[in-house]
Copies of this chain bind each other. A is one copy, B any other.
Amino acid sequence: MVAKRAGVSRQTVSNAANAPHLLRPETLQKVLGTIDELGYRPSHAARALRTRSTRVIGCRLLPSNYGGTGGVLDRLLHALCDAARSKGYDVLTFSVGTDDEEIGVFEDLLRRGAVDGFVLTNTHHGDVRPNWLLAEGARFVAFGRPWGRDQAAHSWVDVDGASGTRQAVEHLSALGHARVAYLGLPEGNGVGDDRYRGWHDAMAALGAPTKGLVARAEDGIASGRAMADQLLALPIQPTAFVCQSDTMALGAIRAIEDRGLRPGEDISVVGFDDSPVASLWRPRLSSVRQPIEAVAQKLVEVLLAELSGLQRKPSRDLLEPWLVARESSRRAPGRADRVSIPDVPVRVATAKTRFSN
């Protein structure tokens, strides 16, 4: 340890970095001086060996366009790296095909002591990963609620999807739309059910009909197109679509065009996740945007709390998404005079709602 050239002991140098209050101000100055004079940084390996903590967080890398999430997880990874580094942590990534393989990597990384904890993404019904991690006593936070299980079993951070679709309905309603249809995933998917619920409750709250205005099927442009086409074939067409993904929304736009109608002008469409295509498509797609940067910060914050051991109970955080309004959602044609609901301003700031703790 070269920094001992400051004329003090190893431990004093160590303290200068980790517990400055133990040093006399003048010694502290002297030590800190020689530290950055020599460009010294404590060895990651040695510190990890001694303290049994690596200051590294593991995170699975999911395919970019995974499940129609449209780059949400990419943004998350970026934000996660930033948030982690600002707290002195690094992020180690790995790419696996299945949850079981992911558990294999968890085991490897934990046994070798290569990471302190994990950020879990893409939680879903029947997810085996939380069970495994809990059984191993590993530290982790999930991005996504523990769908279909005890919400208090472990810490998680999630975005309120129901609020997102609710905002979309309110936005459309304010634009004079009464028949707002919903395109989503089939029942049984946590995220899908959540978003569906938001649409349904918002419609009910407005006293608007919901019956016959729902189509649910797998994600994808083709799927969205087929679902929208089916609803557009109804005697009384919907005047707007709220979709659970941007891909479905793009499909809806196609279906609208197929019938010679103008998306945005004749029939409005709102997507979800604000993927890169949303602002590239014509008409530019209105979409619900998740506060990913805030999610990442929260994830790191919660994980560090878990790692510190001070955290007793698992924490739960639900963050608010917001609507980005573009040309695909506009005033309902011929309805300008029949608006009965006062305009609801579209929220543009990142509002947070905090649960528990």
Residues of A within 8 A of B (CB): 39-46, 48-49, 54, 56, 61, 63-65, 71, 74-75, 77-79, 81-82, 85, 90-95, 105, 108-109, 111-114, 221, 247, 250, 254, 276-277, 280, 282
Q: Is the CB of B39 within 8 A of A45?
A: no
| Other A-B pairs beyond A64-B75, A81-B94, 18, CB < 8 Å | A40-B111, A41-B111, A43-B49, A44-B112, A45-B45, A45-B49, A45-B113, A46-B49, A61-B77, A81-B93, A82-B95, A85-B94, A85-B105, A90-B94, A90-B114, A92-B92, A92-B93, A93-B93
Given that A41-B111, A113-B45 are contacting pairs, would A78 and B91 also be in contact in the complex, using a CB cutoff of 8 Å? no
**CA–CA, A90 to B112, complex, Å?**
12
In angstroms, how far is the closest chain B Cβ from the Cβ of A226? 16
Look across to chain B and name the residue whose beta carbon is closest to the beta carbon of A257. Answer: B282
Look across to chain B and name the residue whose beta carbon is closest to the beta carbon of A75. Answer: B64
One of B44, B77, B277, B282 near A93 (C-beta < 8 A): B77
Look across to chain B and name the residue whose beta carbon is closest to the beta carbon of A43. Answer: B113
Look across to chain B and name the residue whose beta carbon is closest to the beta carbon of A82. Answer: B95
**CA–CA, A64 to B66, complex, Å?**
14
**CA–CA, A105 to B46, complex, Å?**
20
